[in-house]
């Protein structure tokens, strides 16, 4: 049984990984082309509107999906209850978004902001119809299908955004692509897990969902605030152009940890939920995930840190320096990406054990620190100082997660350090080596390609030497289980 769950877990992670690699390809191409065709203000207005709508989209979920995945059963009554609750809350969220969209003009100076928010609000209604299908797929650990749906979402969004941007739609290319992507996700999940829409509420089940979901919802809401408060404040204080520069830095600096989170964390919660009661298995699984996450996260983020200037000029800027104001912020957020990748699995572990309040406290702490630091950072410093503030705020979560991991799972800091230090040391050596030789080559596409190859090779070589190749051998041994 233990081996079966382990095999299923890594198989699901591999499905997610394959899907995310494909999605990453689409997303990267789209981001590059959009960066070459749009200006900072376009990114700024679309990004600000997306924050407002995503907030209400989170509200419409209210943690019902997590509550249903965690529940012992999900029969027809539970399906109908989950669907009905989501429709009611979703319609309320949609109405509030439309009614208060005009307030955005008081925070950001752009004439189209109200219209953009109102159009984006329809994503709330579209997303409502994927709930029951998504829950069924997660409960049955059908992550190959979920991965397919998410890949389809990204592919649709990327292709439509590229076509519209090349035809002069500016920020609307991002807006319409987002709506299309949500529609594709609903269609794919429903195709593989069809459900007869039924409006009915079982009061007992509804109370269970709302009780469990409320804590998860508040945690998610605070997490949303953590990931978007900086964007909201930067846009309100410094304007859409500075928000655009910050968005470019954040999108690329946090891209790797976002992918890692989507690949691993989406699998961890339902898998850890299956392990409830076996603390030793959960501990070993958690430590192994942290080890693999460190390996790949440090590699990707250190690589981007090194080539950031050449990347902004050659790839995103079409040979110009239009995105160079993002350089220092991008490098700071590459460090943030490493920290976030290593911290996030703790949230899935604790929530699967019914301790969502700990994740809630951690998110609340980050939100309070950001609230205190981001405004003075952008007001008296710049987007670089905002990046430092965000990094510091995220690190503060360790003050809550480390004691909780030790108390609930006997996971000690020294154990985490022991499995992550090879990645950090190999990353440091790679970083020093690159900047020692950086001035010997002329910026350009050839330097970028050669640099990425050499950085990867040096990092993997030193990581292998520091671990005596054990981790690579373990990964190789998992291949038969994944296949």
Neighbour-count burial for 221-237, b at 16+ CB within 10 Å, e otherwise: bbbbbbbbbbbbbbbbb
Does 392 map to a domain? yes
The verdict on 84 and 134 lying in the same domain is yes
The verdict on 175 and 287 lying in the same domain is no
Residue 65 domain boundaries: 1-201
The verdict on 340 and 454 lying in the same domain is yes
DSSP 261: I
How far apart are the C-alpha atoms of 61 and 93, rounded to whole Å? 10
The verdict on 250 and 137 lying in the same domain is no
Residue with tokens 């309040």: 357
Does 209 map to a domain? no
What pLDDT shows up at residue 261? 64
The verdict on 173 and 248 lying in the same domain is no
Domain boundary among 201, 224, 259: 201
How far apart are the C-alpha atoms of 138 and 267, rounded to whole Å? 8
Domain boundary among 152, 176, 201: 201
The verdict on 373 and 307 lying in the same domain is yes
How far apart are the C-alpha atoms of 458 and 216, rounded to whole Å? 41
The verdict on 328 and 422 lying in the same domain is yes
The verdict on 180 and 289 lying in the same domain is no
Does 455 map to a domain? yes
Q: Please state the pTM of the whole predicted model.
A: 0.77
Whether 370 and 226 have beta carbons less than 8 Å apart is answered as yes
Q: Distance of CA 419 to CAs 54, 116, 294, 346, 416, Å? A: 36, 46, 8, 15, 6
Residue with tokens 């292998």: 464
Residue with tokens 């051998």: 473
Does 216 map to a domain? no
Q: Distance of CA 88 to CAs 74, 80, 162, 343, Å? A: 20, 12, 35, 34
Whether 192 and 142 have beta carbons less than 8 Å apart is answered as yes
Whether 69 and 221 have beta carbons less than 8 Å apart is answered as no
The verdict on 20 and 142 lying in the same domain is yes
User: Among 481, 437, 483, 430, which residue's Cα sits nearest to residue 2?
Assistant: 481
How far apart are the C-alpha atoms of 367 and 457, rounded to whole Å? 38
Question: Six-digit token pair at 187?
Answer: 């269609």
Three-class secondary structure of residue 449 per DSSP? helix
User: Among 27, 252, 25, 46, which residue's Cα sits nearest to residue 158?
Assistant: 27
- Determine the Cα angle at 117 with ends 116 and 122, to 5°: 105
Tally the C-alpha atoms within 13 A of residue 339's C-alpha that lie toward its C-beta: 16
Does 213 map to a domain? no
Does 211 map to a domain? no
The verdict on 66 and 132 lying in the same domain is yes
The verdict on 410 and 357 lying in the same domain is yes
Residue with tokens 């930067």: 234
Q: Into how many domains does the chain fold?
A: 2
Does 228 map to a domain? no
Q: Per-residue confidence of the chain (483 residues) as pLDDT tens digits?
A: 445 555 555 555 565 666 667 777 888 889 899 999 998 989 899 989 988 888 787 777 777 877 888 777 888 898 999 899 989 988 988 999 999 899 888 888 888 999 999 999 999 999 889 888 988 988 887 777 877 888 888 889 999 999 999 999 999 999 999 999 999 999 999 999 998 888 999 888 888 888 876 766 676 677 677 778 898 899 999 998 999 999 999 989 888 777 766 666 555 555 665 566 667 877 888 888 899 889 999 999 999 999 999 999 999 998 889 999 999 999 999 999 999 989 988 887 887 777 878 888 888 898 889 889 999 999 999 999 999 999 999 999 999 999 999 998 899 999 999 999 999 999 999 999 888 877 666 678 888 888 899 999 999 999 999 999 988 887 776 554 444
Three-class secondary structure of residue 335 per DSSP? helix
How far apart are the C-alpha atoms of 223 and 220, rounded to whole Å? 5
Does 208 map to a domain? no
By the 10 Å C-beta count (0-12 exposed, 13-18 middle, 19+ buried), 170 is classed as: middle
The verdict on 52 and 151 lying in the same domain is yes
What pLDDT shows up at residue 12? 59
């Amino acid at each position: 049984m233990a081996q079966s769950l382990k095999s299923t877990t890594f198989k699901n992670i591999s499905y997610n990984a394959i899907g995310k690699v494909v999605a990453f390809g689409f997303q990267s191409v789209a981001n590059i082309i959009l960066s070459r065709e749009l200006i900072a203000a376009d990114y700024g207005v679309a990004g600000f509107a997306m924050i407002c709508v995503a907030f209400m989209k989170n509200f419409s979920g209210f943690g019902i999906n997590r509550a249903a995945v965690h529940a012992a059963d999900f029969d027809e009554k539970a399906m109908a209850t989950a669907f009905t609750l989501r429709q009611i809350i979703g319609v309320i969220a949609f109405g509030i978004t439309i009614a208060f969209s005009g307030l955005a003009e008081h925070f950001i100076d752009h004439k189209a902001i109200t219209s953009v928010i109102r159009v984006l609000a329809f994503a709330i209604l579209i997303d409502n119809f994927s709930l029951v299908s998504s829950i069924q797929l997660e409960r049955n650990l059908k992550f190959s299908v979920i991965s397919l749906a998410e890949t389809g979402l990204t592919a649709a969004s990327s292709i439509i955004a590229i076509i519209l941007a090349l035809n002069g739609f500016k920020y609307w290319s991002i807006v319409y692509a987002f709506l299309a992507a949500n529609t594709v996700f609903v269609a794919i999940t429903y195709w593989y897990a069809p459900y007869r829409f039924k409006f009915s509420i079982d009061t007992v089940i509804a109370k269970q969902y709302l009780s469990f979901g409320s804590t998860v919802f508040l945690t998610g809401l605070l997490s949303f605030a953590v990931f978007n408060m900086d964007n909201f404040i930067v846009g309100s204080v410094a304007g859409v152009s500075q928000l655009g520069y910050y968005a470019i830095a954040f999108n690329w600096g946090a891209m790797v940890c976002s992918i890692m989170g989507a690949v691993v964390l989406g699998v961890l919660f339902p898998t850890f939920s299956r392990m409830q009661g076996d603390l030793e298995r959960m501990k070993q699984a958690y430590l192994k995930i942290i080890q693999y996450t460190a390996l790949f996260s440090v590699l990707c983020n250190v690589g981007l840190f090194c080539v950031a200037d050449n990347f902004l000029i050659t790839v995103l800027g079409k040979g110009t320096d239009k995105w160079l104001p993002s350089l220092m912020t991008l490098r700071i957020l590459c460090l943030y990406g490493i920290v976030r990748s290593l911290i996030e699995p703790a949230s899935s572990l604790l929530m699967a054990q019914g301790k969502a309040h700990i994740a809630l406290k951690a998110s609340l702490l980050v939100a309070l620190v950001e609230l205190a630091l981001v405004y003075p950072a952008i007001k008296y410093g710049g987007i670089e100082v905002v990046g430092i503030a965000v990094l510091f705020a995220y690190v503060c979560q360790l003050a809550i997660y480390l004691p909780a991991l030790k108390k609930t799972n006997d996971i000690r800091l020294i154990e985490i350090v022991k499995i992550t230090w090879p990645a950090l040391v190999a990353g440091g050596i790679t970083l020093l080596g690159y900047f020692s030789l950086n001035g010997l080559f002329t910026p350009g596409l050839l330097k970028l390609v050669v640099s990425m190859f050499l950085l990867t090779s040096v990092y993997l070589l030193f990581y292998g030497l520091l671990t005596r190749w054990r981790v690579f051998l373990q990964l190789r041994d998992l291949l038969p289980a994944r296949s």
